């Protein structure tokens, strides 16, 4: 619980941060809200030579609307996303997910960008980010690139962000039907992380499902889109029967389930189907 020695840097521009990251190479860690990194340091699971605190770089925590896209700075805290009236109106799935993360202390310090890069397989954000088909903007010394949510989560604790890159922004298209969404999770009793969490964003036209994106977290070593469920829904009238049969496919994309003292893989698989059905019902108001 006592970290080893490290240099601390608090650059005030992205360029300065990138310089530092290039200087230290693999031997540095980027500090955002710190709710993933600090425990790792205190348990000495990581002992970087330097910690680069990007928290003082201005302009990385704003939430804005740019034509039909919502742009959220990587340093926006969970609490600020939960409290945003604009997101509550235009993209309640973000607000509702943010509200279910951790506890007030975690929500006040933890950031969207930091959580995504950490790629904890039981974090809440990946489900929503997948269901919203978000785009993640990263900056490196070579410039800027955009990573689609689908390509972002590579493996357990591994994202598509490369060494030498910083996540700067997350953007999502304003959903056609913002309220046709939900995030439901079963929380692990000690940590509050998701044993299973399912985020849903639907588009329903005259009772027929014309669009469906479903993100699943907690169940597998990496979060995923429940494409089989999405395909089963699309083009069909939303009924209780359809939801039940579609939700029963929500685990199909993941071969391997997480398995720990809190829940076996078998139970997680079962929960994934149950929670997917509940999340679909909540989103479709069925």
Partner 1 sequence: MSSNGKNEKYVGRPVKRTEDPRLIQGLGHYVDDIRLAGELYVAFLRSPYAHARINSINTDAARNASGVVAIFTGSDIEGRVGNVPTAAALEGLKVPKYPVLALGKVFFVGQPVAAVVATSRYAARDAVDHIEVDFEPLDVVVDAEAAAQGGPVIHHDFGDNIAYVHRAGIGDVDAAFASADKIVAQKMHHQRLAPISLEPRGVLASFLPGEQQLTLWTSTQIPHLLRTQVAIMIGLPENKVRVIAPEVGGGFGSKLNVYAEEALLSFISMQLHKPVKWIETRRENMSATIHGRAQSGVAELALKNDGTILGLRYTVTADLGAYHQLLTPAIPTLTGLMLSGCYKIPAISMVCTGVFTNKMATDAYRGAGRPEATYVVERLMDIAAQELGIDPVELRRKNFPTPDEFPFATATGLFYDSGNYQAALDRALAMVDYDKLREIQKSDTAAGRLVGIGVSTYVEICALGPSAAMPAGGWESATVRIEPTGKVTVMTGASPHGQGQETSFAQITADMLGVDLNDVYVIHGDTGIVQYGIGTFGSRATAVGGTAVVYATEKLISKATKIAAHLLTTDEENVTFENGVFSGAPDDKQVTIQQVALAAHLASNLPPDTEPGLSATYFFEPKNFTFPFGAHICIVEVDRDTGDIRIKRYVAVDDCGKVINPLLVEGQVHGGIAQGLGQALFEEVVYDENGQLITGTLMDYAVPKAHQLPRYELDRTETPTDVNPLGVKGVGEAGTIGSTPAIVNAVIDALRPFGVKHIDMPLRPEKIWRVISNQ
- Which stretches of the chain bind partner 1, using CB under 8 A? 1-5, 39, 43, 103, 186, 188-191, 193, 261-264, 266-267, 270-271, 274-275
Distance CA 72, CA 50 (A): 27
**To the nearest whole angstrom, how small is the minimum distance from the Cβ of residue 266 to partner 1?**
7
Residue 152 or 183 with smaller CB distance to partner 1 = 183
Residue 161 or 271 with smaller CB distance to partner 1 = 271
Residue 75 or 249 with smaller CB distance to partner 1 = 249
Distance CA 186, CA 92 (A): 19
Residue 185 or 213 with smaller CB distance to partner 1 = 185
**To the nearest whole angstrom, how small is the minimum distance from the Cβ of residue 117 to partner 1?**
19
**To the nearest whole angstrom, how small is the minimum distance from the Cβ of residue 249 to partner 1?**
17
**To the nearest whole angstrom, how small is the minimum distance from the Cβ of residue 264 to partner 1?**
6
Residue 35 or 213 with smaller CB distance to partner 1 = 35
Residue 74 or 184 with smaller CB distance to partner 1 = 184
**To the nearest whole angstrom, how small is the minimum distance from the Cβ of residue 137 to partner 1?**
30
**To the nearest whole angstrom, how small is the minimum distance from the Cβ of residue 166 to partner 1?**
27
């Amino acid at each position: 619980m006592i970290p080893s020695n490290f240099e601390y840097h608090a650059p005030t521009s992205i360029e300065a941060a990138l310089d530092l990251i290039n200087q230290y190479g693999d031997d540095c860690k980027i500090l955002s809200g710190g709710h993933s990194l600090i425990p790792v340091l205190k348990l000495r699971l990581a002992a970087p030579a330097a910690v680069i605190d990007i928290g003082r770089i201005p302009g990385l925590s704003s939430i804005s609307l740019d034509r039909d896209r919502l742009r959220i700075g990587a340093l926006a805290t969970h609490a600020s996303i939960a409290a945003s009236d604009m997101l509550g109106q235009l993209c309640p799935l973000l607000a509702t997910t943010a509200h279910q993360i951790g506890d007030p202390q975690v929500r006040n310090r933890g950031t969207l960008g930091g959580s995504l890069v950490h790629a904890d397989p039981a974090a809440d954000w990946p489900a929503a980010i997948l269901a919203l088909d978000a785009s993640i903007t990263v900056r490196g010394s070579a410039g800027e690139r955009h990573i689609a949510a689908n390509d972002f989560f590579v493996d357990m604790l591994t994202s598509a962000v490369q060494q030498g890159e910083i996540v700067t922004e997350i953007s999502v298209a304003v959903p056609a039907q913002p309220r046709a969404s939900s995030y439901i999770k079963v929380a692990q009793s000690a940590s509050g992380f998701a044993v299973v969490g399912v985020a849903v964003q639907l588009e329903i036209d005259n009772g027929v499902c014309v669009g469906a994106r479903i993100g699943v977290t907690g169940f597998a070593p990496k979060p995923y889109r429940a494409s089989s469920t999405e395909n089963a829904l699309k083009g069909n009238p939303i009924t209780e029967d359809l939801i039940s049969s579609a939700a029963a496919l929500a685990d199909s994309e993941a071969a391997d389930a997480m398995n720990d003292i809190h829940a076996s893989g078998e139970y997680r698989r079962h929960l994934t189907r149950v929670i997917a059905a509940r999340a679909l019902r909540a989103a479709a108001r069925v």
